[in-house]
Structure 1
Amino acid sequence: MAIALEGTIGAKQSSVAVAAPKRDTRLDVLRGLALITIFINHVPGQIFENFTTKNFGFSDAAEAFVLISGIAVGLAYGPNFETGTWLQTATKAMRRAFTLYLAHMITTFMTLALFLTGAWIFHRPGLLCEINILAVLTNLKAGIPSLVLLGHQIGYNNILPMYGALMLMVPLILVLNAASPLLALVVSGTVWLFAGMYEIAPHNMLIEGYWFLNPLSWQFLFTIGIVGTVHVYRGGKLPQNPVLLVLAATYVVLSFAWVVGQLWSLGIALASLGLPPVLTGFDKTFLSLPRLLHVLALTYLVINIPVISRLLRRSADNPLAILGRHSLNVFVAGTILAMVGQVVLYINNHDRVGGPIFVVIGIAIQFAYAFHLERKRKLETGSRSRLLNRALVPVPVRVDRSRDRR
Structure 2
Amino acid sequence: MTMPNSERDTRIDVFRALALLIIFVDHVPGTVFETLTYKNFGFSDAAEAFVLISGMSVALAYGSKFQPGNRLMAILKLWRRAGVLYVAHIVTTMVVVAIFCGAAVFEKRPDMLTLINIEPLIRNPQQVLIGIVTLGHQLGYNNILPVYAVLLLMAPTFLLFISYRPVAALAISGALWLVAGIYQIAPPNYPEPGFWFLNPLSWQFLFNIGLASMLHIKRGGTIPVNRWLVGTAAVYVAAALIWVHSPLWGHVSWLNLPVVLTGFDKTFLSLPRLIHILAVSYLIVAFPSVSNLFRTSRDHPLAILGKRSLPVFIAGTVIAMVAQVMKLINPGGFAYDSLLIAAGIAMQFALAYYLEWLSGIGKSGKSKPVRSEAPPVHTPFGVGAMATSNP
Equivalent positions of 1:197-208 (< 5 A) are 197-208=182-193
Question: Alignment length, in residue pairs?
Answer: 369
Q: Which moved more, 1:151-160 or 1:138-147?
A: 138-147
Q: Does the aligned pair in 2 maintain the 1:69–1:222 contact within 8 Å?
A: yes
Q: Residue 259 of structure 2 aligns with which residue?
A: 277
SS in 2 for 1:252: helix
Contact kept, 8 Å, 1:83 with 1:178, in 2: the verdict is no
Separation in 2, partners of 1:316, 1:172: 32
2:16 corresponds to which residue?
Answer: 31
CA contact (8 A) 1:181 1:227 kept: yes
Query: Amino acid of the residue matched to residue 16 of structure 2?
Result: R
What is the match of residue 333 of structure 1?
315
Tell me what 1:363 maps to: 345
Give the Cα separation in 1 of the matches to 2:356 and 2:206: 30
Counterpart Cα distance in 2 of 1:380 and 1:248? 48
1:251 aligned residue: 236
How far, CA to CA, are the matches of 2:363 and 2:228 in structure 1?
Answer: 47
How much does 1:107 deviate? 1.2
Kept in 2: contact 1:278–1:286 (CA 8 A): yes
Instruction: After TM superposition, give the deviation of residue 310 of structure 1 in Å.
Output: 1.9
Aligned partner (choices 369, 372, 379) of residue 361 of structure 2:
379
Q: CA-to-partner distance for each residue in 1:101-136, whole Å, 9 max, x for gaps?
A: 111112101100000001100000000000000101
Q: Residue type matched to 1:54 in 2? A: K
Greater CA radius of gyration, 1 or 2?
1
- Name the structure 2 match of 1:18: none
Q: CA deviation at 1:246?
A: 0.3
| 2:163–2:215 contact (8 Å) kept in structure 1 | no
5 Å matches for 1:168-183? 168-183=153-168
- Decide which of 289, 306, 312 is 1:324's aligned counterpart: 306
Shift of 1:193: 0.5
Note the residue ranges of structure 1 that are not aligned, 5 or more in a row.
1-6, 16-20, 389-406
What is residue 43 of structure 2 aligned with on the other side? 58
Q: 1:83 to 1:126 in 2, by over 3 A?
A: same
Please tell me the residue identity of whatever aligns with 1:319: P
Residue identity matched to 1:325: K
Cα 1:386–1:237, aligned 2, differ >3 Å: closer, same or farther?
Answer: closer
Q: Return closer, same or farther for 1:363/1:262 CA change in 2, 3 Å cut-off.
A: farther
Q: Distance in 1 between matches of 2:172 and 2:368?
A: 48
TM-score w.r.t. the length of structure 1 is: 0.87
Residue 290 in structure 1 maps to residue 272 in structure 2? yes
Task: Find the counterpart in structure 2 of residue 191 from structure 1.
Answer: 176
**Aligned partner letter, 2:357:** R
Question: Over aligned residues, Cα RMSD in angstroms?
Answer: 1.9
SS at match of 1:260: coil
Output aligned runs, 1:301-312, within 5 Å: 301-312=283-294
Conserved 8 A contact 1:341-1:355? no
The structure carrying a bigger helix percent of its residues is: 1
SS of 2:8 mapped into structure 1: coil
User: 1-side partners of 2:164 and 2:12: how far apart?
Assistant: 27
Instruction: Give the Cα–Cα distance (whole angstroms) in 2 for the partners of residues 108 and 240 of structure 1.
Output: 43
- Paired position in structure 1 for 2:28: 43
Flag the 1:310–1:190 CA change in 2: closer, same or farther, 3 A.
same
Aligned-pair identity in percent equals 50
Task: State the alpha-carbon separation in 1 of the partners of residues 99 and 362 from structure 2.
Answer: 33
Letter in 1 for 2:254: A
The residue matched to 1:188 in structure 2 has which SS?
helix
Q: What SS does structure 2 have at the residue aligned with 1:219?
A: helix
Of the two structures, which has the highest relative contact order with CA contacts closer than 8 Å and spacing of 6 or more? 2
Q: CA deviation at 1:239?
A: 1.8
Distance 2:363 2:310 in 1: 19
CA contact (8 A) 1:45 1:350 kept: no
**Residue identity opposite 1:214 in structure 2:** N
